[in-house]
Amino acid sequence: MALSRRSGGPELFGVNLRNAALRLLVNALAILVAANLIDGITVSGWQAVLLAAAIFGVVNALVKPAVRLLTCPLYILTLGLFAFVVNALMLALTAWFAEQASIDFHVSGFGPAFAGAIVIALVSWTVSILI
């Protein structure tokens, strides 16, 4: 990933803050694009976008590795296509956490979560290449 190859910048508890801020902004942009393209994904205000991006980053950092480990046979069986389902579940989990925290970010069902996960992955990948 392009962001992890960059060195330098301040660190806090071993985390490069520059890379963390860039990842947050990339996630925010990706969520904003998905919300504008996919019916069923809504977010209102830049604060909600940034908070949803932060939650999405934490979910992907903490929950996704455990889910990938537990569903490893499905990844193998589907030749990696199950990753789209896992990404959709992570987006849905992000929306659930946001709803619990009264953040105005909603995903209304698995279909929008699946499409949104694809859009977010494509936007994140494209922006990461350009940075």
pTM across the whole model: 0.84
Query: Percent of the chain beyond pLDDT 70?
Result: 94
The answer to whether 13 and 59 are in contact (CB under 8 A) is no
Q: What is the pLDDT of residue 55?
A: 96
For residue 120, is pLDDT > 80? yes
pLDDT tens per residue across span 80-116? 899 999 999 999 999 999 999 999 999 999 999 999 9
Q: What is the pLDDT of residue 1?
A: 43
> Phi/psi at 24 (nearest 5 deg)?
-60, -45
